[in-house]
Structure 1
Amino acid sequence: MQPSSTAREAVDDESGLNDAWLVERTRRGDQAAFGVLVRRYERKLIRVMARLVRDPEVARDLAQETFWRVYNRLDRFDTGRRFGPWLFRVGVNLGLDHLRRGRSDPPHGSLDRIHGDDGAPFDPPDPDPRVRAELAQEVQFILAQLPVAYRTILVLRDLEGFSSSEVAAIVGRREATIRWRLSKAREKFRQIWERRQDAAREAATDG
């Protein structure tokens, strides 16, 4: 079925179009509508994938695979639900599968986006770009020590800024479970961070 000229004009004007309408248009054969969804979510999806797999090329491939799978499953999508969290759930699952196969490095983040277990920002002590680069490497190392479930929630919640309810929808868990895991993940992150800082201070003193 070809979209009418009125529908095409509506899709051309992307502002104000809700996801459910675009999904329904796509189901009716309007590929331009799906193109709007791709443009709406592509950048953030690639960024999330890159944080998980630490390879820009792989991240783009995973994002493309995500859109392909979502496109082919639209007939099963409940438009009463939010499209964005469903899309990211498919993408995150692909990213986690990739990590479980051991084909990439752990995610990379910025220390100033990690929060303590009290919810307060875990800010770096020095704004010097060189120091911040070293801290970013330290964050990458510490994230690698966390279980995948905790790591994923930290990436989504603290690095990408998804709400707890959105993270719950993405990973398929209750919001209360997400809050509990997030607290545990932040606590473990801080514990490893503090141990490594103590070890570094002792090494400097011994030297």
Structure 2
Amino acid sequence: MNDEQTLVRQILQGDLRAYQMLVERYQRLVLHMVSRIVRQPADVEDVCQEVFIKVYKHLREYQFEAKLSTWIASIAYRTAINYAKKMNRLPAHGDLNQVSETREPSGNSSPEDILVNKDWKSFLYAQIEQLPVHYRTILTLYHLEELSYEEIGQITSLPAGTVKNYLFRARKLLKEALQRHQKREHWL
């Protein structure tokens, strides 16, 4: 019996410490999923709690067909999407033409360069936040959680080909925004 099966079995037998371990192990994943869809910090916390309540309530239904992390992430994804729809806060598309004033980071480590690098990262994060929700989610799952196309497909109920396509489009939109920003910075 593997670690996930043991953990699930212990939780189903009423071991609250095992459930606490599950929450601690997967809270980062759930937070990443939910925060890419739900925008208000107080709402993110509420939705994350709701996710773990659903995980606990439906744990008997988990069949070990996918990794536990994939199963939990799919619950987080669906819960966040449903919450955002219910609150009418699900943006369909972002506007990548709105570019903040930042500069490209350089390889030096002077205080000025550190500040510029911080601004550059802020710019990149701002551009990611402006992406459509599916693109943001897939970027997060692929690059931060390091999940495969198939795992992301299981979480989002999208075919692996669509996941690849969305990831390609998201990267392309980010690249275009960065190029526009660099071109504008060059002229300043």
TM-score, structure 2 as length reference: 0.73
1:44–1:145 CA distance, 2 compared to 1 (3 A): closer
Question: What is the total number of aligned residue pairs between the two structures?
Answer: 170
Deviation at 1:160, TM superposition (A): 3.5
How far apart are the structure 1 equivalents of 2:158 and 2:151? 10
Q: Distance in 2 between matches of 1:185 and 1:47?
A: 17
Q: Corresponding residue for 1:126?
A: 106
- Measured in 1, the distance between the counterparts of 2:27 and 2:132 equals 27
Distance 1:61 1:131, change over 3 A: same
1:38-92 superposed Cα distances (whole Å, 9 cap, x missing partner): 1221234234434544554433322211110111112222123221111111112
CA-based RMSD of the aligned residues comes to 2.9
- Answer yes or no: is the 8 Å Cα contact 1:150–1:185 preserved in 2: yes
Q: Does 1:40 align with 2:20?
A: no
Superposed counterparts of 1:107-186, under 5 Å = 125-126=105-106, 128-186=113-171
Q: TM-score, normalised by structure 1?
A: 0.68
* 1: CA distance, partners of 2:181 / 2:170: 17
Which structure's CA Rg is the greater one? 1
- CA gap of 1:75–1:160, structure 2 versus 1, over 3 A, is closer
Q: Which has the higher contact order (CA 8 A, sep 6+)?
A: 2
Corresponding residue for residue 89 of structure 2: 102
Q: Contact conserved, 1:85 with 1:166, CA < 8 A, in 2?
A: yes
- Check conservation: 2:37, 2:133, Cα contact below 8 A: no
Contact 2:38 2:89 (C-alpha < 8 Å) held by counterparts: no
Residues 92-116 of structure 1, C-alpha deviations (whole Å, 9 max, x = no match): 2333344453289xxxxxxxxxxxx
In structure 2, runs of 5+ residues without a counterpart are: 92-103, 108-112
Q: Which runs of 5+ in 1 are unaligned?
A: 1-15, 105-123
Q: Which amino acid aligns with 1:126?
A: S
